[in-house]
Structures are given as structure tokens and as C-alpha cells.
Amino acid sequence: MTTYTFPKGFWWGSAASGPQTEGVLTNDGKGDSIWDHWYKEAPERFFDQVGPEKTSQFLTKYQEDIQLMKQTGHTSFRTSIQWSRLIPEGTGAVNPEAVAFYNAVIDELIANDIEPFINLFHFDMPMAMQAKGGWLNRETVEAYVAYAKTCFELFGDRVTKWFTHNEPIVPVEGGYLYDFHYPNHINLKEAIQVAYHENLASAMAIQAYHAMDLAGEIGIILNLTPSYPRDPENPADVKAANIADLFFNRSFLDPAIKGEFPAELIAIVQELEMVPAILEGDLAIIQNNTIDLLGINYYQPRRIKAKESAVDHSHGPLPDDFFDNYDMPNRKMNVYRGWEIYEKGIYDILTNVRENYGNLPCYISENGMGVEGEERFADENGAIQDDYRIRFVKDHLKYVHQAIQEGSSVRGYHMWTCMDNWSWTNAYKNRYGFIAVDLNQDAKRTIKKSGHWFKTVSDQNGFTD
């Protein structure tokens, strides 16, 4: 048996987002996001045709949920403000009902000794902005910065942990490369412009925050997916893995921390003749407004081999033209989600941040295991006995602990998620929470075995295994 003890003040908690938890009430003042719009347009794209209005009702149950957070050992909790709830048209009038709601949530968290971590953008572009081009349109950058300033002004007296984006590569991949988010385009030139504008918007929001001289930190949350070559001794595989890393990790990691885009990525974009529209002064803004704190989301690795399959020219160039994904034999899998479970990946990310990115203060902002049909594991009292989730978290935390022992500046661990929530087009297919949500019983909450276990971890600031 080994005891794993974490640094004093380590953040224990979970992560969620506004669009995945809040729900919608009649006349609550919220404007449509792209998710509200897309669900109305194509409900068949959503698992069981469950849309964003049927999320886990945090809007009305937040007080109960915060008590459950306390019962499951939370000392911190990350969620997001919905741009389309606060400023329904993306620009213009602020929704007073939204201000009252977010103030109440923040105050309730603080009153229960749970520090609020607030993210500003979690895939939920206001539809009014998307109708004008979304992140393709430079006006959206300006509107986002105005929205961010509004948030800082309204809530910055109490919130000291801010994040500009969660997983900004996902709107790029989903909306402009692989057709799993609205607007469902497949166009690399557009994807590059979207990624550039997201990077610029983040830097401009950081600039605005620091100019306000508030007593807090601001960062970004990136899903860092390590790219492992099929054969580390094969130069072609190594080159392919490096290109995947450039597109999907370093396109946001480097500008966020180093203030510049990787030279190798710039060269690829120039070769493709897809350099985004850049205004004078933009690159200086990115250079001079880097993050204070990095959130790291980790779920699975990326296995890469040199390109062997035929290039698909039907949509023009794509990142996949430079590499193939590799199905490594005998890998451990989460069969429900179709993702590999590779715990050491979290250590490799933290080591990379320590060795190549100045050991910037960071924390694990998401890590979790989605399982379908969890009700099969309920005991006689209806509590889900999710020992598999406890094992998953333990095995990742061991590697976080090892990274800390080796000097990584890791401040905390947030699991995805607190209570089961709506997961985009997958809706409630896979459950991730410490707390079960029964959609058939007015979203009734029941703490799972993992939630009780997490309370002991938080109380002891570690665990024995």
C-alpha cells in the first residue's frame, strides 16, 4: 500500500459548463446559442433527440447541487457563463435575470467554501453572432472581448480564477473540419481563421482583465492530447505525430504560454496558402498577453503513423493529409466511449509543460470516464457502485502525484463532471458524474460511490492504494 499525499491547498473538485447543465426556462431571457438553433434544425443529430433545454436543471437546482458538491469534497468547481444567457444577442443589452442567476451561484459557492472557477466560452456561440459568421468574423472577436469585460466587471470582485476558452480546438474541429458541431463546415482555410480569431480573442480578454487590476488569475483550458508515433524509431512516424501535435495541441498551447505560433505550423499554413487575415498589432497583442494559469483536459492519447491511406480530396486539404491514426494492438479501452485509457499520458503532458513551457502553474481541469447504462451498477438503495470510475481517477492521480514529485507546478484536479450532464450530440448516452441524475424523476440526484470516495480524498488531501 502506498499513500499519495498532495500539496497543501490542492484544489479538489469537478468541472461542468453552462450549456450542459443549466437548462432553459420560459421567459428566462436567454438568447439562442448555436446548440439551441442546431437542435431545432436537426434534432436527429442528437442522441435520443434530447436537446439542450433538457440539461440537468442547474438553473433551478444550483443550491441543492452546491450542497452535493460539499458532500462530495469539492473545494473548487469550474463552470461557464453562457454568453447567450448574459448578452442574448451577443452584443447589446445585458440580461438582468442572468446577472442575478450567476451572482447567486457564485455567492452560494463561496458561502460553502467552494472556490468558483469561471470559464467564458464553452463551444456556445450566440446564434446572433454565428449568423454573422461566428469566429470567422473579426466582429465576433470584438464582441467577445466586450462580453468578457462585462463578466469581469459584474463578477470579478469575487471570482479570482478566470478562463477565456475551454478546448478552443474543438469548435475548430467540430465546426470547420469534421462536422460534429454547428455550422458543420469542412474547410481547412476557415478552420485556420477560426483558430486564429479564438487565439486573438483570448489574448485580448487577458489584456482587458489585467488592465482592470483585479486580484485574480486568468488562463485558458486546453485539451492536450499527446501524439505518440507508432514507432518512435521511425522518422516518418515521428514526423507525422509532430504534425498532429502542431495542429491539435501547439496551435493553442504555444500562443497561450509563449505568445507565438510554432514556426513549423506557420510553415505548413504558408505552404497551403491559408494564412489567416491578421491585422497590424494583432501578433503583438498575442505576444504580450499570455496566460497566468493553464487548465489541462486529458481523456485519451492520439496514436499516429505516417500517412498510408489515400488522401481524400473531396473537401480540399485537411490535417489528416499529413498523418494516419494508428490503432495500437492490445490497448486498454473505455468501450462505451471508444477511447483509449492511457494514464501515463497525463504525466507526459505535465512533464512537457514543465520542461518546454516554463513550468507554468497549471491544474487538471478535466479528466473522466463516460459509461453507458450505469443504472446496471446501482445497489438496493439506487446508488451506483462505480468502482471503475474510482480506479480510473486513482490511476490518473498517481501520475499527477509523480509529476508533482518531479517538480511540476500542478495545483489541482477537477474531474468531468459533478452531476451527470448533457453532452452535446451524445446527450445523456454516457454518464460521467460523481452524482447520478435521473431524467425520469425530475432530474433527481443521487451520489455515486465515486462521490463518497472523492470526499475522503479531499478530506485527506490524498489517498492510499
**Which residues have a catalytic role annotated?**
366
Contact 72, 449 (CB under 8 A): no
For residue 233 the three cell numbers come to: 524509431
Q: How many Cα atoms occupy the beta-carbon half-sphere of 418 within 13 Å?
A: 30
The number of residues making up the chain comes to 465
Q: Which among 179, 176, 322 is positioned nearest to 247, based on CA atoms?
A: 322
Q: Is 184 helix (H, G, I), strand (E, B) or coil?
A: coil
Q: What is the DSSP string of 386-436?
A: -HHHHHHHHHHHHHHHHHHHTT--EEEEEEE-SB----GGGTTSEE--SEE
Q: Which of 426, 380, 353 lies closest to 46, judged by CA?
A: 426
Query: Residue 168 in 3-state DSSP?
Result: coil
* Residue ranges with strand state E in 120-190: 161-166
CB atoms within 10 A of CB 173: 18
259: left (phi over 0), alpha (psi -120 to 50) or beta: left
- Cross-strand partners of 147: none
- Bridge partner residues of 464 (DSSP): 3
Q: Return the closest-CA partner of residue 396 out of 315, 307, 299, 313.
A: 299
Q: Which residues is 435 bridged to in the sheet?
A: 419, 447
Contact in structure between 74 and 11 (CB atoms under 8 Å): no
For residues 153 and 43, give the distance between their C-alpha atoms in angstroms, rounded to a whole number: 37
Alpha carbon separation from 222 to 31, 168, 192 (Å, rounded): 27, 7, 17
Compute how many other C-beta atoms are within 10 angstroms of the C-beta atom of residue 300: 18
Examine residue 417 and say whether the peptide bond preceding it is cis (omega within 30 degrees of 0).
yes
DSSP line for 222-256:
EE---EEES-TT-HHHHHHHHHHHIIIIIHHHHHH
Phi, psi of 228 (to 5 degrees): -100, 125
Alpha carbon distance 225, 300 (integer Å): 6
**CA 281 to CA 215: how far, in whole Å?**
27
Cell numbers describing residue 104: 447567486
